[in-house]
Amino acid sequence: MSVFYRKYQNKNLNNLAYGKWFARAVTIGKTINVDELAKHMSEHNTPYSKGAIKGVLTDMIGCIRELMLEGKAVKLEGLAIFSVGIRTKKNGAPTSADFSTTKHIDSVYMRARATGEFTRSELTKAGNVTELPKNFTDYTDEPEGNGGGSQNGGN
C-alpha cells in the first residue's frame, strides 16, 4: 500500500518558505462512499452481507452526529475520537458580557482525533510514500485541512 504525493512549489510571496518545494498527498480514483465501503467490507471473509453492513454503517454515522451534537465525544477504537469544535470570529468579543453566539461564532464543525493505527506515527511507519508519475491523472489533490480538491489536475 502506498501513500501517493505530488510535489508543489510555495508561491506565496509573503511566506518564509516562498520558492521551496513540498509534498502534497493525493488520492487515487474517486472517493469511496458508504455503499462501496460496505461492499468492500463484505468481501473480507465476513458472514455479513453488503446490505447488513451498509445499514449498520449508515446508522452509526447518524448516531455519531446525534451524540456529537449532544456534546459527547465518540471514540471508535483504532480509528478516531469524534467531537464537535467551534470556530469563533478572529476578533472575539471585548468582554464576556459582550459575547454573543450569533455575533461571535462562525461555525460548528466535526473534529476527528486519530487513535490506534491511524495516529500520525503509526501511519508514517506503515505508509510507503511514492511520488506519482507526472502523466498519472486518476487522482485528486486533497491538501491537508482542505477537505476538497480538484479532479485530474492539481498544482
Q: What ranges do the domains of the chain cover? A: 32-71
What is the rounded end-to-end Cα distance, in angstroms, of the chain?
A: 24
Whether the pLDDT of residue 151 is over 60: the answer is: no
What pLDDT is stored for residue 105 in this prediction?
94
For residues 66 and 90, which has the higher predicted lDDT (pLDDT)? 66
Residue 143, all three cell numbers: 491538501
Give the residue carrying C-alpha cell 480538484.
Answer: 150
Predicted pLDDT of residue 141: 60
User: Model confidence at 143, in pLDDT bands (50, 70, 90)?
Assistant: low
Cα–Cα distance for residue pair 132/69, rounded to 1 Å: 40
Q: Are 111 and 83 in contact (CB under 8 A)?
A: yes
pTM: 0.72
Asked if the model's pLDDT at residue 150 lies above 90, the reply is no
The answer to whether 35 and 51 have CB atoms below 8 angstroms apart is no
Bridge partners, 95 (sequence order): none
Q: What is the pLDDT of residue 27?
A: 86
Mean pLDDT of the 34-61 span: 95
Q: What is the DSSP letter of 48?
A: S
Q: Please determine, for residue 37, whether its predicted confidence score (pLDDT) is greater than 50.
A: yes
Among 62-76, 111-125, 141-155, name the one with the lowest average pLDDT. Answer: 141-155
Helix, strand, coil percentages for the chain (3-state, nearest 5): 30, 30, 40
